[in-house]
Amino acid sequence: MHYSLLDLSPVPEGSTVADALRNTGDLAQHAERWGYHRYWMAEHHNMPGIASAATAVLIGHVAGLTKTIRVGAGGIMLPNHAPLAVAEAFGTLATLYPGRIDLGLGRAPGGDQAVMQALGVHPSRAEAFHNEVAELRELFGPENPDRRVRALPGEGTGVPLWILGSSLHGAQVAAMLGLPYAFASHFAPAALEQAFEVYRRYFKPSESATKPHAMMAVNVFAAETEAEARRLRTTMQQAFYRLRTGRPGKLPAPVDDLSTVVPEGAMPALDEALRISAVGDPGQVEAQLRTLIAAHKPDEVIITGQIHDHGARLRSFEIAADVMGRINSAAEAA
């Protein structure tokens, strides 16, 4: 089973966007050495704690710093962009880094109404998602001199498309178009089981994929001790609570006692949103990942985790890679 990494280029409190971008480059180079298959970044706007808004630009930066790992978007929010512009950007990336670029597509805006207005996007654009994905696939398809509008660069590159989602809609689109599917279970797991079932049941083979390929996103907070791992996790818990209460900001530092910054009444919803997680020392993380994989049977796992300290973040992803290596070795031996 491939294991991949999702990085939002977090901007921790006490640091700058420049620091965050340097850290992303450093993490990507480590991830390549640790055996991660893909390194994905996501489009978010107007978020002080996330530096990956210009996603295609950052993908090019990371691809240039690495040699073999696949690099891509998890994802581009398609309603924010004309399909032709996306095809040209990712066609350029695929030409510069052949065989290494992925394009995951979502239909969410990646921001609020003010962001959509600033981007010149109408909410109704999301209704055209299915058709625009099909248009993108055509733009990346074989050379066609007779096509009235062509993606140049882009045409002939065959950039692999993925559908992202946190509901049944994305599963239905991915199944209908015969595309791989990535579920945002790291922050919205409610429909995970049903979405995977719908995707697999209704999948139609295509030139892109002959069989379903479902990716599950998992938060990992790993450290040498369970206590330290749980402390690291408080950063993401705080950040998620602040986002849910309309107070997004830079990535907060961890705390020893989460109840001092998050009300007790908010914890059940927080725990539910972040339940697809593995937290603890290496042995605990391995046991939890094995349980999640056995329960949901993903074809691929993409690991993420918002951790304040860059060194601790590196160590957590290193432990996760070691664990996935052991899980894969055991599966091969079985």
CA distance 53 to 141: 27
Q: Are residues 17 and 127 in the same domain?
A: yes
For residue 73, give the DSSP letter: E
Q: Cα–chain-centroid distance for residue 187?
A: 11
Q: Are residues 2 and 150 in the same domain?
A: yes
Residue 180 lies in a domain: no
Query: Among residues 198, 207, 235, which one has the least CA distance to residue 219?
Result: 235
Residue 198 lies in a domain: no
CATH (domain of 39): 3.20.20.30
Q: Are residues 152 and 264 in the same domain?
A: no
Backbone angles phi and psi of 206, in degrees to 5:
-145, 180
Tens-place pLDDT, residues 195-212: 999 999 999 999 989 999
CA distance 230 to 236: 11
Q: Are residues 7 and 115 in the same domain?
A: yes
pLDDT at 111: 72
Provide the number of structural domains found in the chain.
2
CA distance 87 to 155: 8
Residue 257 lies in a domain: yes
Q: Are residues 141 and 253 in the same domain?
A: no
Q: Are residues 223 and 153 in the same domain?
A: no
pTM above 0.85? yes
Question: Three-state SS for 91?
Answer: helix
Question: Three-state SS for 5?
Answer: strand
Strand intervals (E) in 157-252:
161-165, 181-183, 214-222
Residue 283 lies in a domain: yes
Tens-place pLDDT, residues 5-29: 999 999 999 999 999 999 999 999 9
Average pLDDT along the chain: 96
| Band (110; pLDDT cuts 50, 70, 90) | low
Q: Is the dihedral of CA 191, 193, 194, 197 positive or negative?
A: positive
CA distance 298 to 186: 14
Using the structure block, give the residue that is written with the tokens 């096509």: 147
Range of the domain at 250: 216-334
Tens-place pLDDT, residues 30-74: 999 999 999 999 999 999 999 999 999 999 999 999 999 999 999
CB of 140 closer than 8 Å to CB of 155: yes
CA distance 48 to 326: 37
Tell me which amino acid residue 182 is. Answer: A
